[in-house]
Amino acid sequence: MTADSTQKKQLVSAVLKRQVLYIAGFTAGFAAALWAFLTFFKPFVSDILYAFVGQSWTLYSMVTVLFWPLVVICYFSGIYLVVRAGVNQAFRYFDLLLASVESILAKRDEPVSLPPELAATALALNQVKTEQDRAERAAKAAEERKNELVAYLAHDIKTPITSIIGYLTLLGDSPDLPVDVRARYTGIALDKAYKLEELLEEFFEITRYNLQSIPIERSRFDGALFCNQVIDEFYPLAEGRGLSLSYAGPAELEVFADAGRVARILNNVMKNAVAYADAGTEVAVHTALATGADGFVWWQITVTDRGRELSPAHLERIFEKFFRADEARASSAGGAGLGLAIAREIARAHGGDIYAASDAGLTSFTIWIPQGPSVAVRAPSAS
């Protein structure tokens, strides 16, 4: 039985019980009043009535014949008024519910309070209020963090621009510089330009950040070739950090997903792995089709690197937007903190998920993309 049906049953039961009690109370009171009238007041009232009709027995008899029909009419009129009062009191519940909803919308501090028969509804409304408050605090914190990161990036953008202008000015003002010095200055300016490009990409990523509207368009493609193509893109960056890249999985693997979106997931995870892996270690990518206990098939991609171990508290927050492992804004590895958050949202938009684990410096990110008949099935828990 659902909470809604339970609440409805409790409310109906409370209203019916109250109506029965009211009717029973009125009936008992009416019967007691009738008994008292017949026992103690009837002779006195009969004498008054007889005198009122001019001591005419015929008129008196006609009037007394109407006594019991009047009693019945009075009884059912009373029942009608009692039932009407009960219905009006039942409608009071709607007024209380509307007032409670208005209190939530008005963001008042006091909790929702309703009669005992609406306890389940009061609990649900208070949960909604609590979740609304939590969401507002989270949104406010995220907005503050976003503004802070925009300010940081705007400040950081000035540094490479200043360097680029400085070195290009030197090159322009000193045409007789030796070739090796000119080449070194040109290389530095180019490196700063690349850094500026990265910062601008992060800046635009923040300004257009909206994970709630990710369109997914699936198609069939070779997942093995796909993974190797993404790995190939990271060879220059990995070589610069003294890392090796490896692939483990079948030579061919037909999968069904949005290749462009999954590429973004894997790119973000690979970028994180290459940035934080210890120099001289290996970043490994493994892919396969995994079948759950219920027979549902998943496309699994796991990226593993060896470096600093991540604490459980860190793992809980690593997929939060604007969260960075390295909070130093000047870190060459620290980005805007959107990559893994976007990766999770794209995976969930597919009906899957992404999980992280870290043990003894070995950190892995596992992506699950559903391949079975229903994408509504939840991805299995990461081991």
CATH number of 308's domain? 3.30.565.10
201 and 226 co-located in one domain:
no
What is the extent of the structural domain holding 60? 3-110
Residues contacting residue 14 through CB under 8 Å, at least 6 positions apart: 117
Q: How many domains does the chain have?
A: 3
Q: How many alpha carbons fall within 13 Å on the CB side of residue 283?
A: 31
Tokens of 111: 């909790």
Q: Does 151 reside within a domain?
A: yes
Residues 245 and 215: beta-carbon distance below 8 Å: no
Q: Does 337 reside within a domain?
A: yes
- Residue 202: CATH number of its domain: 1.10.287.130
Per-residue pLDDT of the chain (383 residues; tens, 9 = 90+): 455 566 667 666 777 777 788 888 888 888 888 888 778 777 777 777 667 766 677 776 776 777 788 888 888 888 888 888 777 777 777 777 777 777 767 777 777 777 666 667 777 777 877 887 888 887 787 777 667 666 656 656 776 787 788 888 888 888 888 888 888 888 888 887 887 777 677 666 656 655 455 678 899 999 999 999 999 888 888 888 899 999 999 999 999 999 988 988 898 899 889 888 999 999 999 999 998 888 889 999 999 999 888 888 788 778 776 555 444 323 344 444 567 877 888 898 889 999 999 888 899 999 999 997 644 444 444 43
Q: Does 134 reside within a domain?
A: no
105 and 83 co-located in one domain:
yes
186 and 225 co-located in one domain:
no
Tokens of 375: 């994408």
Hey, what's the torsion of the CAs at 340, 341, 347, 353, to 10 degrees?
90
83 and 58 co-located in one domain:
yes
50 and 165 co-located in one domain:
no
279 and 324 co-located in one domain:
yes
277 and 328 co-located in one domain:
yes
Q: Does 332 reside within a domain?
A: yes
182 and 251 co-located in one domain:
no
Q: Does 376 reside within a domain?
A: no
75 and 180 co-located in one domain:
no
Q: Does 262 reside within a domain?
A: yes
Separation of CA 90 from chain center: 34
